Chain A
Amino acid sequence: EPEVTQTPSHQVTQMGQEVILRCVPISNHLYFYWYRQILGQKVEFLVSFYNNEISEKSEIFDDQFSVERPDGSNFTLKIRSTKLEDSAMYFCASRPGGVLNTEAFFGQGTRLTVV
């Protein structure tokens, strides 16, 4: 069964460093998302990506964040200068196009720890 894959599963980084979280969405899906979940809190929307551009972003997704789909299969989230409060589980999701009533499929997540 097709699935969304994320790498790495766990990343530890020093405050101020840049990190890139990688995702391979399900092939032939058209909508791509990043969400995050701080420990003990709700899953929060960060950004959605469609037709090679950001279609929506939350207040969390400031200038320190960027997304890219460099080669038609990978979908990356970059945090330029990490802060302690960026420590969270980051989830990538994708869904098919065509109609709105479609299911979103999530990856297993990348646990980011900023020290």
Chain B
Amino acid sequence: KQEVTQIPAALSVPEGENLVLNCSFTDSAIYNLQWFRQDPGKGLTSLLLIQSSQREQTSGRLNASLDKSSGRSTLYIAASQPGDSATYLCAVRLLILTGGGNKLTFGTGTQLKVEL
């Protein structure tokens, strides 16, 4: 059974700092990994999708890396801003050859606070 863990559970940084969020998963037979942002009481906003064959994916100040063999992904946020304050979730999609499901398994999340 796939288990996804995120460290740290919570993080508080001053504005402008670069930071790294970590995600680890137990089953390396993944098809892709997706990073989401969740604001309090709100839905999930997709940030980046990184395919199993990729090492990195970038969008603006965000950079996601994937090391499938070691079961790890990181989300790097450059020059953090107060508006980045949210919970960040990683989710993996396993490689399943039959059926049309291919569900996402979510991590525990990292709650980020960027202070002025």
Q: Is A31 an interface residue (CB 8 A)?
A: yes
What's the Cα separation between A107 and B46 when bound, in Å?
11
A82 contacts the other chain (Cβ, under 8 Å)?
no
**B100 to A: closest C-beta gap in Å:** 3
* Docked complex Cα distance between A39 and B34 (Å): 22
Q: Is B91 an interface residue (CB 8 A)?
A: yes
Knowing A91-B44, A104-B46, A108-B42 are in contact, say whether A42-B101 is a contact too (CB < 8 A): no
Secondary structure of the A contact surface, majority rule = strand
Contacts of A33 in B (CB 8 A): 103-104
Asked if B18 is an interface residue, CB under 8 A from chain A, the answer is no
Verify if B41 is at the interface (C-beta below 8 Å from A): yes
Known: A48-B101, A55-B101. A91 touches B106 (CB 8 A): no
A42-B108, A100-B93 known; A48-B102 Cβ under 8 A: yes
- Cβ contacts under 8 Å, B104 to chain A: 33, 35, 43, 45, 93, 104
Interface bits B58-76 vs A (CB < 8 Å: 1, else 0): 0000000000000000000
How many interface residues does chain B have, given as a range?
20 to 34
Inside 8 A of B44's CB, which chain A residues have their CB? 43, 91, 93, 106
Chain A residues within CB distance 8 Å of chain B: 30-31, 33, 35, 42-45, 48, 50-51, 55-56, 58, 89, 91, 93, 100-109, 111
Are B101 and A50 in touch, CB under 8 angstroms? Answer: yes
- B: residues with CB less than 8 A from A are 31-32, 34, 36, 41-46, 49, 51-52, 89, 91, 93, 95, 99-109
Partner pick for A56 among B41, B91, B103, B107, CB 8 A cutoff: B103
Chain A nearest CB from B25 CB (Å) reads 13
CA distance A61 to B34 in the complex (A): 24
| Bound-complex Cα distance A19 to B66 (A) | 40
Q: Which of B34, B42, B102 contacts A103 (CB 8 A)?
A: B34
CB distance from B107 to the nearest CB of A (A): 7
Contact for B100 among A48, A58, A103, CB less than 8 A:
A48
The answer to whether A55 touches B43 (Cβ under 8 A) is: no
List 18 A-B pairs, Cβ < 8 Å.
A33-B104, A35-B104, A42-B106, A43-B91, A45-B103, A55-B101, A56-B99, A56-B103, A58-B103, A89-B41, A100-B32, A100-B95, A100-B102, A101-B51, A103-B46, A106-B36, A106-B43, A106-B45
